[in-house]
Amino acid sequence: MKFGMSTACFFMKEYTEDAMTEIGRMGIKNAEVFFSAAVEYDHSFVREVKKRADDYGVNIYSVHALTTQFEPQMFSAHDRQREEAYDTYKHVLEAAELLGAGVYVFHGPANIKIARKLNIDFAYTGQMVSMAANLAKEYGVKFTYETVHWCWYARPDFAQLIKPHLSTDNLYFTLDIKQAAQSKLPVLEYIDDMAGRMINLHICDYSDDPQKGIIPKLPFEGEFDFVALKEKLSNIGYDGGVILEVYANNYRSCEELKANYEKMVRFFSGE
């Protein structure tokens, strides 16, 4: 497995470039870059992040864009909207290429019309996903659709339902524990749905409060069954990214975050 940390752990505490420095100082050797603004796709900014990663010997495993800026519009039937969205998407892929990242984390369209039942056109969705995934492949990047409770991959059958409609070999998946938990469906069933195509895993924990709902927490501080997850990963021979991705309010200091990361590594590596 490729253990790492996302710069998203520092969102609203540190800018992305400074988050990379903090990850390097912790001695972590893999990272996911979460871009927090469109300006961060600029080549000059990306080179600064890459320099900071290189200074500490950090490999950029994956990138995650500010998805609501453009990803939903990549599925639009309106040519101008779609073309504009793809312009932004290409900038992000160029950034991934400059960083040496091999994985792109994708949310896609959001399910925002709560008054109407979600009814996905899988034929059209497969066509649009294939287009996006094939373009990522041109940049040497694996396209991963992430489990997100407020987007289309909000149930553990999405991957199998879209599969017959694909014209790409570059569709993979990212499992996000807190997002899958918020779907109120069994988290580990998403791994079955992905059928060996999961290559990225966002690690966190949560508690399920009757009034407040799912509350994200540091790993091993909530109620998620990490023993069952570890067994599941072992059974499928998982060797992809295991990326700590928590919210900045889930910890009090970098020392606490580092200690939790090291505990995560020991747990999954069997040390």
Task: Could you list the beta-strand ranges (E) of 164-227.
Answer: 171-176, 198-203, 205-209, 213-217
**Model confidence band, residue 270 (pLDDT cutoffs 50, 70, 90):** confident
Asked if pLDDT for residue 117 goes beyond 90, the answer is: no
What is the predicted pLDDT for the residue at 111?
85
Could you tell me the residue range of the domain that residue 39 belongs to?
2-269
Phi, psi angle pair for 70, to nearest 5°? -155, -25
CB 18, CB 31: distance < 8 Å: no
* Number of domains the chain is built from: 1
CB 181, CB 214: distance < 8 Å: yes
**Model confidence band, residue 114 (pLDDT cutoffs 50, 70, 90):** low
How confident is the prediction for the chain on average, in pLDDT?
Answer: 95
Task: Show the DSSP H helices in 139-215 as ranges.
Answer: 158-162, 177-182, 187-194
Closest by Cα among 173, 190, 193, 172 to 181: 190
What is the predicted pLDDT for the residue at 113?
66
d(CA 35, CA 263): 26
> pLDDT by residue (tens digit) across 143-161?
999 999 999 999 999 999 9
Mean pLDDT of 102-109: 96
Which percentage of the chain shows pLDDT scores above 90?
A: 93
What is the predicted pLDDT for the residue at 42?
96
- Beta-bridge partners for 5: 31, 244
d(CA 54, CA 50): 6
> pLDDT by residue (tens digit) across 61-77?
999 999 889 999 999 99
**Model confidence band, residue 271 (pLDDT cutoffs 50, 70, 90):** low
Phi, psi angle pair for 71, to nearest 5°? -65, -40
Which percentage of the chain shows pLDDT scores above 70?
A: 98
CATH number of the domain to which 78 belongs: 3.20.20.150
Mean pLDDT of 259-265: 97
Burial 127-136 (b: 16+ CB within 10 A, else e): ebbbbbbbbb
What is the predicted pLDDT for the residue at 118?
73
Lowest mean pLDDT among 50-59, 109-118, 121-130, 230-239: 109-118
**Model confidence band, residue 256 (pLDDT cutoffs 50, 70, 90):** very high
> pLDDT by residue (tens digit) across 195-246?
999 999 999 999 999 989 999 999 999 999 999 999 999 999 999 999 999 9
Quickly tell me which residue has 């606490």 as its tokens.
256
Closest by Cα among 155, 69, 82 to 118: 155
Mean pLDDT of 111-129: 84
CB 193, CB 157: distance < 8 Å: yes
Going by their DSSP bridges, the two strands 205-209 and 198-203 should be labelled as unpaired
d(CA 189, CA 184): 12
> pLDDT by residue (tens digit) across 173-190?
999 999 999 999 999 999
d(CA 160, CA 129): 14
